[in-house]
Structure 1
Amino acid sequence: MQKTPLLAWVLLFTLAFIWGSSFILIKKGLVGLTPQEVGSLRIASASLFLLPSAIRRVKYVDRKRIAYLVFSGFLGSLIPAFLFAIAQTRLESAITGVLNGLVPIFTILIALFVFGQKQTKAVYAGVIIGFIGTAILITAGEGNSLNGINVFALLVVLATLCYASNLNLIKQKLNDLHAVTVTSVSLILVGPIALIYLFGFTDFWSKLLTQESTGMATFYICLLGVLGTAIALIIFNKILQMKNALFASSVTYIIPIFAVMWGVLDGEKLYVMHFIGMLAVGVGVYIANTNRAAHRNAGKTK
């Protein structure tokens, strides 16, 4: 077995730290911005940062792929950015970070129902465990009780479904394009929508000029857009070059650790049922993802 270089582990935990910090940055951004301003500013800053890269790469993209890249921009960036921002007005950032781990599970389900990619029983068991944990997180209230459904948690679930749909779209229609090309070009295709909405339909500019809290919130969200999208993508691609997709995907298990850590440090209240739900989601994702990888590798050796 090939030994994993130390740099690969450093990059993996760096990536998990960046993505795990995304949810606390959204929370800080909501102090001075509306959810709609957070979502549009996040995409606008990321698209502007990646604009030079997109300009260099877009000329190599077949025009027939543009429609798929537009869909990728909506599913992988624009829609989730708004859903996460709205959800975190009524949801702790730590719980949001854990629910984000549902992406691999939805990726498996979409591959099954849309593309007919069957999996082992262990994978389905992991999916069930993961959804049990999700149900607990969605209904968990104060103390150890299970109350009514938190519809804002469902927004996060919907966002992860968008992410998973985007991953399957890229796999089926854009797999031969470089990841930086897909991300940068898809972002500049939806970036103008975010910019028009931000400056044309919100009070962002006037608040930025008059309110101190808006300035700090803008800094946090721009940091999120640049770090959480552009720089994180570069790190992810470097990990893929050094190791493989299976190693890179293990970042999914580390992200919730940092998300919960930031939440606790920020004084968020988490109860026993929350931790039970988090554990179930983590175990479910681990079982489903690892067995899926094993099943895929076994198929290649036949």
Structure 2
Amino acid sequence: MQLGALRTLFAAAFLFLIGFRSMKTIKKEEWKWVIISGFLGTFIPAFLFAFAETEIDSGVVSVLNSTTPLVTLILGVVLFSINFSRNQLIGVIVGLIGCLALILEGASVNPNQNYWYAGLVLCASVCYATNVNIIKRYMQQISPIAIANGNFIVLVIPSLIVLFYSDFFEAKVVQSPEVHTSLMYISILAVVGTGIAKILFNKLVQISSPVFATSVTYTIPIVALMWGLLDGEEFSFYQVLAAGVIILGVYIANRKK
């Protein structure tokens, strides 16, 4: 709970410093979508991922997160009437096959993990998929930095409430050296993985299709597996092959012909 709340608050502080005035460009009738986008695209997933990674490895979490393009495609067609190409459909399916291979192989390499927590990551993927379709459909004319700032200004109070009830402000917590180290890493996560990434992703959604934008999540498992290796997590040769299938899926989905 503290991780999700602090990540949101640190990212909000960073975004306000670089683009607080950009929110003046958001029209009154657009704030409804900005608020919904903030909760679906940032607030709820931050806690779902934090809980999931208490039981399953980061590599597995990142693989499950790669279901986002498929969910985006389905929701885009069913709820938002967004068109898609044959290559996008094929690429998403190929990428999903690679993801499933990574999940199965990860379960055999690390059999002692609680894979029921995978459901939390899948819920986060649904949130992300809904958010990206909302951005494409209803916030195309808002600048990416304004969307990001608008998202986070509405999340500050909920995050403070969560942090207050999580006992973070107790003396034994605040004065702990381990907590000080954790805060440093949370700040890096918030600025790079949330603040900057949020602006870039919003721009990517606006200049491309939702499926194209979310297909970048197919490359996350590859990066996460490398970081996981440095952190002592295990992966096999077959997981490397599955990562190659994921890259192939991204290539197919983004081909023009």
Sort the TM-score into its range (normalised by shorter chain): 0.7 to 0.9
Matches within 5 A, 1:20-31: none
Q: CA deviation at 1:222?
A: 1.8
Change (3 A) 1:142 1:253: closer
Q: CA deviation at 1:68?
A: 0.9
One of 4, 7, 16 as aligned partner of 1:51: 16
Of the structure 1 ranges 118-127 and 257-266, higher mean CA displacement relative to structure 2 is found in 118-127
TM, length-normalised to structure 2:
0.82
Partner of 1:178: 143
Q: Is the 8 A contact 1:38 1:85 kept in 2?
A: yes
1:95-138 alpha-carbon deviations (Å, 9 max, x no partner): 32333333333222222122233434443333333333344444
Check if 1:142 corresponds to 2:108: yes
TM, length-normalised to structure 1:
0.71
One of 154, 170, 195 as aligned partner of 1:230: 195
Q: Percent identity?
A: 35
Counterpart CA distance in 2 for 1:204 and 1:38 is 10
Q: CA deviation at 1:76?
A: 0.7
Check if 1:212 corresponds to 2:163: no
One of 98, 101, 104 as aligned partner of 2:66: 101
Counterpart CA distance in 1 for 2:52 and 2:202 is 29
Q: Is the 8 A contact 1:126 1:283 kept in 2?
A: yes
Unaligned runs of 5+ in 2: none
Matches within 5 A, 1:125-274: 125-140=90-105, 141-143=107-109, 150-199=115-164, 201-206=165-170, 207-233=172-198, 245=208, 249=213, 252=217, 254-271=219-236, 274=239
Q: How many residues align?
A: 252
Q: Is the 8 A contact 2:148 2:199 kept in 1?
A: no
Q: Is the 8 A contact 1:48 1:188 kept in 2?
A: no
Change (3 A) 1:97 1:283: same
1:236-262 alpha-carbon deviations (Å, 9 max, x no partner): 68999xxx648x958555443322211
Q: CA deviation at 1:73?
A: 0.4
Unaligned runs of 5+ in 1: 1-35, 296-302
Q: Is the 8 A contact 1:42 1:221 kept in 2?
A: yes
Counterpart CA distance in 1 for 2:117 and 2:247 is 20
Q: Is the 8 A contact 1:104 1:285 kept in 2?
A: no
Q: CA deviation at 1:139?
A: 4.4
1:160-197 alpha-carbon deviations (Å, 9 max, x no partner): 22112111101111110000000111111112101111
Change (3 A) 1:165 1:133: same
